[in-house]
Amino acid sequence: MKSDLSNKHKVDLDRLAQVESLIYQGKLERAKELFGSIRAGHTHPTAQIRAELDYYEALVLAAELAYDEALSKAQASFDYYRSSSDNKKIGNLQQLIAKIFISMGNVEQAEQFTRDSLATWRRIRDKCGIFYCYNRLAHIKFIQGDYVESARYLENTIDSFKATAKDDLQAEISVYRYYGNLARVYILSGDLDRAEDILRDCIAHNRRHEVVSSLIRNLLSLGYIGIRKRDRKLCQDCFAEVKNLLEVNVLKREEGILYEYLGDYHAEFNEFDQALKNYDMAIRMAEKSTAYNTLRSQTLRRRAEVYLVLKNYKKAYQDASLGLEIARNIGETVEEAGCLKVLALVSLNHDLKDDEEDYFSRAEAFLQKVSDKYEVARTHLAFAGIEVSSKDDSRLRWCQRHLNEARRIFDEIGNSYYRAVADLVSADLSCRAGDFDRAFEVVTRAGRYFEKSGYEDDLAGVHGLRRRIEKAMIDHAVSEENEYNLVRKILDPSEYQTLRKADLIENLRFLSKRVDADRALVGIYDLDSRDFRMLAGHEFDSELLPQLTDIMRYAGIDDGRFRPFYITLPYSSSNGSSALFESYSDVSSMILIPIDLGARKSAVIYLQKDYDDDKKGDYFGKTELNISLAFADLLAFRAIESEKSSLEEDNLRLRSQLENSCAFPNIVTGSQTMLKMLERVIQVKDSPISVCIQGETGSGKDLLAKTIHYNSVRRDKRFISVNCAALPETLLESELFGYKKGAFTGADRDRAGLFEEAHGGTFFLDEIGEMPMALQAKLLRVIEDQEVVRLGDTRGRKVDVRILSATNRDLKEMMKEKHFRQDLYYRLSAMTIRIPPLRERRDDIPLLIDHFLKKSGSKVRISSDVRQAFINFSWPGNVRELDNEIKKLVLLAGDSKVITKELLSRKFFKQGSSKKSVDLPEIEQFESDFTLYDYIALFEKKYITEALRKNRWVKKHAANMLGIPESTLRLKIKDYQIQKD
């Protein structure tokens, strides 16, 4: 009988070993079921069997996180075996009790039992037990935040264990478990790349040998690296695999850690609702095990940080206070420091009632004990970013000290994201300290990183900070602290005297040069009529005036707010107003200064600095803004003088128009757009200013150029026209600039170029966009220096020519594509005149028909249906095409003397176009005062609206679809008062 009992006990021991193996594999339910059947077979166990059963029941209870009961069973078993000679069982029980104490947060007791276990294993020379104890001591040092000592224990253990692990799978599995622990130490010491390499090796090994529990822990650690590296895909892949594994393997502690890390993941990417849900789950799981444990302390602190961001200071205080109490009881140095950080930040924004502790000082003291560089740097960064008054110098220095330390550590551990976040904090501190130039430099650097990395939320923060810096600069510039309020302070006596005598344009150029502005203007804005009149400009494209008027309204001038407006990178960082700044995509910064003149009028000074790829972050700084505001009054005074002078000139001009009702009889038009354009031509016809004429083929660019010349003071001199597309580059150069004898084969004499021939007159460069880049530089010299150099010569010759140019291409696009020189463009387009295509001035078609019929000298008349067909046709060849069509039809009419519909070309009757047609608007009331042109306007408005809808109201794309310039589309939208649905 005694022998049978012995055999049965032997069988139970084998089955109990299976229980331990199942627990290790994460199959807790099967382990519980097997243990229950074994225990049921022992109704009256002996003391030894009871101690054996207590040991394995403690293993099951610990796996279920029932640590109090597990400790009770383990100690009962230990009490039996401690007086025995079974050292292996004693060592295992000491290990188990140490593990339970760690889970309960009692680190001191855990360390004591681990050292006792180590002594037991040494006594019997059990290497596996010795290595296990070293691993446990490394874990204890890890909890205490001593990562250097923890790594030392683990590295020594691994090095010693490798020799033992040869040809022993279980030993090999243990080695990889220690490697996983070492990787965790490296994570917290900031060596993420080294930790990742180790973990990927461990994961491959544990997958190969199906070591599920270690695989789950490795995946959790790798996912945690993904959080610190902000690698979304790495996090998602790791945590998804852990979820799948936990569905078939019950490991409750690891499940709690998964929820904690999922909370960290969502918090890192500002998904705070999801973060709180996962933290709540992790805390509920931790609360089931014991009152104090590491998981609960960590998760409470992390949840407190989310509440802090959400400004729920009461909950943040509650979580951080409880987390601090738990961390103090279990000796978690890192968590103590983290909770103190939260409490310190809460104390700035929330009344802590009777709690008068100086959490800042306590947190700073604890930082010296923490080895987790990432958490230390985050704490320094949080302290650097607190709200500080610009007048509190000592607090600003305190913040700067923490910021410097945060940046140093982030640089050391290679965390680029938080280094950029530190730049934002630095920019804010620089702004508070009044160092605006430094603030812009740093915020620009951060913005470039976030844009390149695709962090949209952080990029929005960059734009918001830019606006705050801009506002602070304006506040300083308009205050008494502006050191340039007295202009004389920045000028020497000769400069001051020169400015006093100079006119408006000279003053504007002086200011532009002083602040390094690429473009500038001064004008008068009527707040009632919303009419803006430019009085003086410096390198400013007049086509941008309508958009500038929109920006003035955006700045609040219409509402009587005469506050300076300053913005950097207006197109890319205008917080939802990028459409307004669409035409300013190449601008780095702008200053707009309105000055109230009374009578609902404002003088406006505008300064612009262009964006330069080679000078990223080159903006108007604090000094430039202050100087601009200091000069504003002087420029406004000159503007008033110029306005009075301009009004007198307007009176003379209007009187001249009354005396000669048609200043340009060779131009036939009744279009308001054309008449306004001709009015501008009259203003500049006698000026030496360069004029660029833009318009489609056949719209009459050459006719307008001749009109300007033959109505100007240069009418008695030569008008020379050159088509830049008609001549090859070598011939074009010799024709324009001339050549010296022997300059090339065939140059048998000196010859003057066409520029010299045009001396005193006008030089018209048609199709200027086709001019080769090599010649553009020489043309620039002619414009700037009024000097030409013949081919083969070294001596320049002075010439006095007025340059007119024309193009049907978009020179701005050519500039961006590096096919046209930027400096030449702004010299040629000092005044830009656009001739609208014939389809945009259909009311001119009847006038032109009659004009061309009269010019033909015949008595042919045109039928009404042909006239209507002409009005409806789009005329891609414009006026020239209309002229040629009428010449042809006059010949075809012959003796009938009537041009009928049968004589028209097929192009006037094309049906089934590939483009989708637009329904014609119906006329509700056909009255005598509702003319054909009114109906055309209705159709045009509907067609433009349809094009805008199809292109999502992006004007540039709609203009391309309509085949018209964007500036024309904007004018039409304004005229027809078209508004977005």
Report residue 913 CA to chain centroid gap. 42
Quick one: average pLDDT of 462-470? 86
Place of tokens 């000159």: 638
Is the CB of residue 259 less than 8 Å from the CB of residue 281? yes
Q: Is 859 exposed, middle or buried (0-12, 13-18, 19+ CB in 10 A)?
A: exposed
DSSP secondary structure letters along 756-787:
HHTTTSEEEEETGGGS-HHHHHHHHHHHHH-E
Is the CB of residue 346 less than 8 Å from the CB of residue 352? yes
Q: Is 558 exposed, middle or buried (0-12, 13-18, 19+ CB in 10 A)?
A: middle
DSSP 616: T
Instruction: Return the HEC string of 252-314.
Output: HHHHHHHHHHHHHHHHHCCCHHHHHHHHHHHHHHHHHHCCCCHHHHHHHHHHHHHHHHCCCHH
616's tokens:
């990223």
Give the number of C-alpha atoms closer than 13 A to the C-alpha of residue 579, restricted to the C-beta side.
10
d(CA 663, CA 225): 78
List beta partners, residue 595: 603
Quick one: average pLDDT of 480-492? 57
The pLDDT tens digits of the residues spanning 500-547 come to: 556 778 878 888 888 888 888 888 888 877 788 888 888 887 777 778
* DSSP reduced 3-state for 609: strand
Place of tokens 């603030």: 439
Q: Which residues contact 195 (CB under 8 A, 6 or more apart)?
A: 183, 184, 186, 187, 221, 225
Q: Is 842 exposed, middle or buried (0-12, 13-18, 19+ CB in 10 A)?
A: buried
d(CA 341, CA 301): 10
Higher confidence at residue 632 or residue 468?
468
Kindly report the number of other CB atoms within 10 A of residue 602's CB atom: 23
pLDDT over 80 at 485, yes or no: no
pLDDT over 70 at 743, yes or no: yes
d(CA 301, CA 333): 13
Higher confidence at residue 264 or residue 163?
264
Higher confidence at residue 863 or residue 288?
863
Quick one: average pLDDT of 3-9? 48
What is the pLDDT confidence band of residue 584, given thresholds at 50, 70 and 90?
A: confident
d(CA 679, CA 702): 18
pTM, 2 dp: 0.52
Cα-based distances in Å from 789 to 134, 322, 782: 88, 85, 9
pLDDT over 60 at 634, yes or no: yes
pLDDT over 50 at 117, yes or no: yes
Is the CB of residue 836 less than 8 Å from the CB of residue 968? yes
The pLDDT tens digits of the residues spanning 843-854 come to: 888 888 888 888
pLDDT over 60 at 913, yes or no: no
pLDDT over 60 at 653, yes or no: no
pLDDT the model gives residue 658 = 37
d(CA 785, CA 545): 29
pLDDT the model gives residue 220 = 95
The pLDDT tens digits of the residues spanning 212-235 come to: 989 999 999 999 999 999 899 999
Cα-based distances in Å from 906 to 852, 869, 903: 21, 12, 9
Give the number of C-alpha atoms closer than 13 A to the C-alpha of residue 486, restricted to the C-beta side.
3
List beta partners, residue 834: 694
Least confident span in 607-621, 671-685, 815-829: 607-621
What is the pLDDT confidence band of residue 294, given thresholds at 50, 70 and 90?
A: confident
pLDDT the model gives residue 507 = 78
pLDDT the model gives residue 319 = 93
pLDDT over 60 at 499, yes or no: no
Cα-based distances in Å from 297 to 143, 239, 294, 755, 821: 12, 22, 5, 85, 65
Place of tokens 């532009």: 512
pLDDT the model gives residue 11 = 58
d(CA 967, CA 544): 9
* DSSP reduced 3-state for 111: helix
pLDDT over 90 at 72, yes or no: yes
d(CA 298, CA 770): 69
Dihedral sign for Cα 458, 460, 466, 472, please.
negative
User: In sequence order, what E strands does 39-184 have?
Assistant: none
d(CA 453, CA 436): 26
User: In sequence order, what E strands does 500-639 have?
Assistant: 519-526, 531-538, 565-568, 587-598, 601-610
Quick one: average pLDDT of 124-135? 82
Q: Which residues contact 683 (CB under 8 A, 6 or more apart)?
A: 653
pLDDT over 80 at 273, yes or no: yes
What is the pLDDT confidence band of residue 498, given thresholds at 50, 70 and 90?
A: low
Quick one: average pLDDT of 172-189? 82
Higher confidence at residue 330 or residue 449?
449
The pLDDT tens digits of the residues spanning 924-950 come to: 555 556 666 677 778 888 888 888 888
pLDDT the model gives residue 641 = 63
- Helix H or strand E encompassing 382: helix 373-384
What is the pLDDT confidence band of residue 657, given thresholds at 50, 70 and 90?
A: very low
d(CA 72, CA 97): 9
Q: Which residues contact 638 (CB under 8 A, 6 or more apart)?
A: 503, 504, 507, 522
d(CA 385, CA 429): 8
Higher confidence at residue 229 or residue 635?
229
Higher confidence at residue 640 or residue 123?
123
What is the pLDDT confidence band of residue 957, given thresholds at 50, 70 and 90?
A: confident
* Percentage of the chain lying above the pLDDT 90 cut: 14
DSSP secondary structure letters along 827-853:
HHTSEEEEPPPGGG-GGGHHHHHHHHH
For the chain, the average pLDDT equals 82
Higher confidence at residue 192 or residue 157?
192
pLDDT the model gives residue 436 = 86
pLDDT the model gives residue 707 = 87
Quick one: average pLDDT of 785-790? 86
pLDDT the model gives residue 5 = 41
pLDDT the model gives residue 655 = 44
pLDDT over 80 at 588, yes or no: yes
Dihedral sign for Cα 388, 394, 398, 404, please.
positive
Higher confidence at residue 966 or residue 589?
589
d(CA 726, CA 648): 45
pLDDT the model gives residue 488 = 45
Higher confidence at residue 36 or residue 528?
36
pLDDT the model gives residue 375 = 84
Cα first-last separation, the chain: 97
Q: What helix, strand, coil percent values describe the chain, rounded to 5?
A: 65, 10, 25
Kindly report the number of other CB atoms within 10 A of residue 515's CB atom: 20
Name which of 141, 206, 147 is nearest 173 in CA terms: 206
* Percentage of the chain lying above the pLDDT 70 cut: 87
- DSSP H stretches of helix in 688-796: 701-710, 729-737, 754-757, 773-785
311: left (phi over 0), alpha (psi -120 to 50) or beta: left
pLDDT over 70 at 352, yes or no: no
The pLDDT tens digits of the residues spanning 866-891 come to: 888 888 888 888 888 888 888 888 88
Quick one: average pLDDT of 436-465? 86
- Helix H or strand E encompassing 11: helix 2-24
Quick one: average pLDDT of 188-203? 89
Residue type for position 696? E
State the Cα torsion 838-841-842-847 to the nearest 10°.
Answer: -90
pLDDT the model gives residue 264 = 94
Name which of 779, 787, 765 is nearest 827 in CA terms: 779
